[in-house]
Amino acid sequence: MDEVLVERVLRAVEQVPRGRLVAYGDIASLVGTGPRQVGSIMRHWGGNVAWWRVTNSYGNLPLHLCDEARERWAAEGILLKRNGRGAPMREYRADLALLAADWERACADLPDAGTS
C-alpha cells in the first residue's frame, strides 16, 4: 500500500471532530481513492486514530467493532440508531467542507498534498 495514501487517509480521520461521523466514501472522495481502500487502511493502520468516527454510508460499523464504538460514541454524545449497530449519519455527519479545509492544512507537508 502506498505510504503517502495511508498517511493522507489517517490525517483525514484525525480531522473528524469529536461527536461527528464520516463515511468511508467521504474520506475516499477527499483523498482521491475508493471506499474499500479506506476500509483496508483503517483495518490495518487505523488503530491510533479515531476509527469509530468512520462508518459505512448508513452510519454502521462492522459487528466486531460495535461494542467498543458504542462506548466511545456515548462518551462523545453520539446516540445509537434502533439497530444498535450505528448512529444516524444524517444527524452526525461532519461538515465535509470544513473537513476538507482542515485536511488540506494537515497534509501540506505530504507529496501531492491538497489534491483530491
Q: Calculate helix-pair angle for 3-14, 96-106, nearest 10 degrees.
A: 130
Task: Work out the number of other CB atoms within 10 angstroms of the CB of residue 79.
Answer: 10
pLDDT of 115 over the 70 cut: no
Say what the pLDDT of residue 21 is. 98
- What is the pLDDT, as a whole number, of residue 114? 44
Of 88, 78, 57, 41, which Cα lies nearest the Cα of 12? 41
Mean pLDDT of 86-99: 96
Class of domain 3-106: mainly alpha
> Which one has a higher pLDDT value, 101 or 61?
101
- The cell for 58 is 448508513
Beta strands in the chain (DSSP E): 22-23, 54-55
Reported as a pLDDT band with limits 50, 70 and 90, residue 116 is very low
Q: What is the pLDDT of residues 34-92, one digit of tens each?
A: 999 999 999 999 999 999 999 999 999 888 888 899 999 999 999 999 888 899 999 99
